[in-house]
Amino acid sequence: MAETVVVTGGAGFIGSHVADRFLAEGWDVTILDDLSSGREENIPSSARFVRGDITTPEAATLIRDGKFDVMCHLAAQIDVRRSVLDPVYDATRNILGTLNLMEAVRAGGHPTRTIFSSTGGALYGDFDPPPSAESNSKDPEAPYGIAKLSTEYYLASYGRVHGLDNVALRYGNVYGPRQDPHGEAGVVAIFCNRLLDGRALTVFGDGEQTRDYVYAGDVAGANFAAATVDLPPPGRLDARAFNIGTSIETSVNTLAETLRSVSSAHSPIEYAPARAGELARSALATTKAQSVLGWMPKVTLREGLEHTFRSFADRRARAERRT
């Protein structure tokens, strides 16, 4: 019998890549998504799809009775700006929604390994020079990062108190095909659309702020690795937390120039005032993921941006043929 995984948020950008990876490895995949931001077109035809909201009793019943071997938990409110404007909504989705599922795992009594999609860039802040290690100080600025960190504390507690099998993956700025312009790495999607429209690329500030851009396919590989390797016993917050990035700082200027190059487009770059509260530098140390998970990124930034821009261009062409 095939091993089973439920991917919450599996109709979304990252979640659909995770579902694809598990299907490719021969797993039985169930996707739980309310389609508030995910797309039906992202759902693999060979996966079972359940439409549902992670905060509901129905979602809890699915997790409790499903007896899944693994739960990749990606369903979340992902817009940092919305978290600032409406922190109660953000906490309801990102903290209470996760607790609803964790209580269901506990009630089900099955040894489900939960892989939580956390954040690296929004967790560590600007207090230590990059690349940030898992043990670095954590003082997130936006409610989005606060909710992710709070959830990690809950997961560590569930591991120590109830013996649940939980892992936190702290992503860098994930980009790739199917991306939407929201979330931490939305700039890649925004730039791709602007290049296809022949519009200028808007860079805020001087463009020298850096991020750690990691390809979605590599992130899917990290989820599969976290699902299948032996892990250290549950412990304090960082015991089962792993940075998933490239350890490379890439400036917004470099990102824009690389995308212009791979697209052969000539859109100008325009500069706008810096946005308040934006991190100056961010990159994640991945030594721990390499040594414990056996994972490291395989796709270079240029390769990933080529794949991503091509996917946006193909989707644009398909849409135009339908009209």
**46: which DSSP letter?**
T
Tens digit of each residue's pLDDT (9 = 90 or more) over 118-130: 999 888 877 788 9
Mean pLDDT confidence for 65-72: 98
Mean pLDDT confidence for 273-284: 86
Quick check: 23 and 17 in contact, CB under 8 A?
no
Q: Are strands 210-211 and 250-251 parallel, antiparallel or unpaired?
A: antiparallel
Mean pLDDT confidence for 100-128: 93
pTM, two decimals, is 0.95
Residue 42 pLDDT > 60, yes or no? yes
Neighbours of 307 (CB within 10 A): 17
Predicted confidence at residue 183, as pLDDT, reads 55
- Residue 299 pLDDT grade (very low, low, confident, very high; cuts 50, 70, 90): very high
Domain boundary assignment for the chain = 4-175+213-244, 186-211+247-283+300-322
Predicted confidence at residue 82, as pLDDT, reads 86
Predicted confidence at residue 185, as pLDDT, reads 56
The share of the chain scoring above pLDDT 90, in percent, equals: 84
- CATH architecture, range 186-211+247-283+300-322: Alpha-Beta Complex (3.90)
Question: Which member of 89, 124, 144, 175 is catalytic?
Answer: 144
Mean pLDDT of the chain, nearest integer: 94
Predicted confidence at residue 127, as pLDDT, reads 77
- Residue 182 pLDDT grade (very low, low, confident, very high; cuts 50, 70, 90): low
Q: Which two tokens stand for residue 48?
A: 């079972």
Mean pLDDT confidence for 229-255: 97
Mean pLDDT confidence for 102-127: 93
Predicted confidence at residue 279, as pLDDT, reads 81
271 an active-site residue?
no
Mean pLDDT confidence for 134-154: 93
The share of the chain scoring above pLDDT 70, in percent, equals: 98
Beta-carbon contacts of 87 under 8 Å, excluding residues fewer than 6 positions away, are: 143
Tens digit of each residue's pLDDT (9 = 90 or more) over 301-320: 999 999 999 999 998 888 77
User: Among 16-20, 26-30, 127-131, 267-271, which is the least confidently predicted range?
Assistant: 127-131
- Residue 95 pLDDT grade (very low, low, confident, very high; cuts 50, 70, 90): very high
Residue 184 pLDDT > 60, yes or no? no
Task: Tell whether the torsion through CA atoms of 289, 291, 294 and 298 is positive or negative.
Answer: positive
- 4-175+213-244 under CATH 3.40.50.720, yes or no: yes
How far apart CA 101 and CA 255 sit, in angstroms, is: 37
The number of residues in the chain equals 323
